[in-house]
Structure 1
Amino acid sequence: MPEAVSIERVSPGLAGDAIDLVVTLPTFRRPEHLLRTLQSLQAQTTSQRFAVIVIENDAEGGAGRLAADPLFAEGAIAGLVITAHARGNCSAYNAGWSTALERFPSMRYLAVIDDDEIAGPDWLERLVETAEALPADIVGGPQVPVFETAAGRGLLRHPVFVPHYAVTGRVPILYSSGNVLIRREVLETMGAPFLDTAFNFIGGGDSDFYSRCRERGFSFGWCAEAPVHETTPPRRMEFSWLNARGLRNGALSSIIERRRQTGRRGSLRRLAKSAALLAASPFRSAALAARTGSAVAGLYPMQVAVGRLLAEFGIVNEQYRRPDQN
């Protein structure tokens, strides 16, 4: 195991070669919700023999590790609790995915769910069925926001909260790792570290990973019937958070393109695209505001365009650096 990973608990009698699918579950200072997520995994109705890896990413506090430990110690859930000592979501994913490959030699699929999400009882079965029926190497599903107050319902049509696709089938690419199924062959081909830790605190490591997977020829699918429900705190209903997320999404698109389009020609191409998007953004924003009935949602194309341009000058908001503000 890498030095940055500690195995904290292994469920009794765990046979790594008897597991078809591994669910990785990164956690950071959400012990109460982590237990709700684990309960939804316990309730899965599936033919897949699966195990769960909880990845604690707060090595000092360890609240998630302490909350999950009794369930694994008693064998109520098969799998492991590990600590990823390097902070950041990419580091946590890398630790869990590497552990899954090493500990479970018969694993065919790896799934990801976050510690603020709840899966329905057929979540895993639907994802696997879709992956095999399409077929697709990587399959995503909707992350449906569940707002803690009624005021948030007006944001359901904001682009930040709307799933990227609506219908099950093959898709060109995915953007989020909060609800995804990945074939083992993808991880073995891409190799560790899977997610670039440069994205640890700005997000987007998953989008960059998918972009590289597409370059290697892997295919993508969408399963509309496998949603997870994501608890959305009041902070994410505030304009400052929505504005920061729009700017960040624009910055990420520029950063990822920069990695694929190098040299002077690539820079000129990106700047031209950013300028065109900025010029068109007022019209796109007006159209989106009219379509959604929300001026706040309508600002999103402008925020993305400004974020792209700022990123060209090295200005990127690390939205995950301070968890209390996310």
Structure 2
Amino acid sequence: MDDSITIEIVSPDLLRDGAPAHEIVVTLPTFRRPEHLLKTLDSLAAQKTARRFAVIVMENDAAGREGLGAAGPLFSAGTIEGLVLVAHERGNCAAYNAGWQTALARFPAMQHLLVIDDDEWAGADWIDRLVATAEREDADFVGAPQCPVFEAGATESVRRHPVFTAPYTRTGPVPILYSSGNVLIRRRVLEAMGPPFLDTAFNFIGGGDSDFYARCRRRGFRFAWCQEAPVCETTPARRTEFSWLQARSLRNGAISALIERRADASPSGRLKILAKSLGLLALSPWRFLKLAARTRSPMIGLYPIHVAIGRLMAEFGKVNEQYRRPEQN
């Protein structure tokens, strides 16, 4: 195992079984949310499924270890099957990589890897619905909605803002996914792509998942959506403020430009991406007027302007690291 990963706690069933037979492994990264982590784990313990599954919690605060302290007793007692590890390198991509690498190494029977975040909780049929969709559609990835649960006072414009809107609304094949907060990945994908799966250059800006999906699509892997397997996501008041929405929109634009640049880093490719960014910026005032009129929200209307500006900022190396300061995210 990589030196950047330390396995701290293993549930008794895994200690007894040298080759665990779990076909499903749920990976759960955590960073300084011990109380909500327990809520997420409760939702996993309540799954109504005949499929045997294990959980890997990836503690990404090697110094504080609040998540390890909260989750550890559940795994030590065997209440939840699986293990808790510490991913010593900070950043969400590093945490995902640690969990996915461990899942491949420790669970030889695993066929489906699922991901849920420590600010989310799942319904009792979450596992079965994701796996059933993967099998029915013969999909390598299955995404599903992340439904924000806002604190009191959130306006309708905030609730309908594009940063909170799912990319699809119907179950079935889709061209690509964008988020790793609620997703199923087949083992064959991880074996083919190999570690590190997510590029840690995206550790603090986000978008490592989108970059991974783009690379997988170029390799021919298939994507699907399961509308019936949502998770609920706690959305603090900070994320309803205009400054946060603006920063997230700028970041979304920057990430799109960065991923396109990685797909074609040639001089002609860079020129095409710059031309696209300038074109989107030129069109953004008209798109603002159209979207603001349709939604009756100038704040929502600003989204295409912010995305276009974010793309252009990325061309000059200016990308907002929204995850660098977790207390502001």
Q: What is the TM-score of this pair, normalised by structure 2?
A: 0.98
2:94 pairs with 1:91: yes
Question: In structure 1, how many angstroms separate the alpha carbons of the residues matched to 2:113 and 2:4?
Answer: 21
- The match for 2:180 is 177
Change over 3 Å in CA distance of 1:70–1:153 after alignment to 2? farther
2:294 pairs with 1:295: no
2:127 pairs with 1:107: no
2:223 pairs with 1:220: yes
Unaligned runs of 5+ in 1: none
Q: CA deviation at 1:153?
A: 4.5
Contact 2:157–2:300 under 8 Å retained in 1? no
- The match for 1:71 is 74
Unaligned runs of 5+ in 2: none
Question: In structure 1, how many angstroms separate the alpha carbons of the residues matched to 2:78 and 2:68?
Answer: 15
Q: Which runs of 4+ in 1 moved over 6 A?
A: none
SS at match of 1:160: helix
Q: CA deviation at 1:157?
A: 1.2
SS at match of 1:181: strand
Contact 2:59–2:95 under 8 Å retained in 1? yes
SS at match of 1:165: coil
Change over 3 Å in CA distance of 1:19–1:134 after alignment to 2? same
RMSD (CA atoms) = 0.9
Q: CA deviation at 1:222?
A: 0.2
Question: In structure 1, how many angstroms separate the alpha carbons of the residues matched to 2:70 and 2:327?
Answer: 20
Equivalent of residue 313 in structure 1, options 286, 306, 316: 316
Question: In structure 1, how many angstroms separate the alpha carbons of the residues matched to 2:229 and 2:44?
Answer: 13
Question: In structure 2, how many angstroms separate the alpha carbons of the residues matched to 1:106 and 1:291?
Answer: 50
Q: CA deviation at 1:150?
A: 3.3
Give the partner amino acid of 1:132: E
2:264 pairs with 1:261: yes
Q: CA deviation at 1:192?
A: 0.1
Q: CA deviation at 1:151?
A: 2.0
Contact 1:287–1:298 under 8 Å retained in 2? yes
Q: CA deviation at 1:303?
A: 0.2
SS at match of 1:236: helix
Q: What is the TM-score of this pair, normalised by structure 1?
A: 0.99
Question: In structure 2, how many angstroms separate the alpha carbons of the residues matched to 1:35 and 1:171?
Answer: 32
Contact 1:277–1:305 under 8 Å retained in 2? yes
Q: CA deviation at 1:134?
A: 1.0
What CA deviation, in whole Å up to 9, does each residue of 1:148-205 have, x standing for no partner? 1232454221100000100001000000000000000000000000000000000000
Question: In structure 2, how many angstroms separate the alpha carbons of the residues matched to 1:171 and 1:296?
Answer: 29
Q: CA deviation at 1:285?
A: 1.5
- The match for 1:25 is 28
What CA deviation, in whole Å up to 9, does each residue of 1:56-108 have, x standing for no partner? 00000000000000100110000000000000000000000000000000000
- The match for 1:13 is 13
Question: In structure 2, how many angstroms separate the alpha carbons of the residues matched to 1:134 and 1:156?
Answer: 31
SS at match of 1:41: helix
SS at match of 1:130: helix
Question: In structure 1, how many angstroms separate the alpha carbons of the residues matched to 2:315 and 2:26?
Answer: 37
Contact 2:111–2:187 under 8 Å retained in 1? yes
Q: CA deviation at 1:122?
A: 0.5
Give the partner amino acid of 1:12: P
- The match for 1:116 is 119
2:61 pairs with 1:58: yes
Question: In structure 2, how many angstroms separate the alpha carbons of the residues matched to 1:199 and 1:128?
Answer: 28
2:3 pairs with 1:3: yes
Identity over the aligned pairs, expressed in percent? Answer: 67
Contact 1:147–1:153 under 8 Å retained in 2? no
User: 11-20 or 57-66, which moves further after superposition?
Assistant: 11-20
Contact 1:52–1:80 under 8 Å retained in 2? yes
Q: CA deviation at 1:30?
A: 0.3
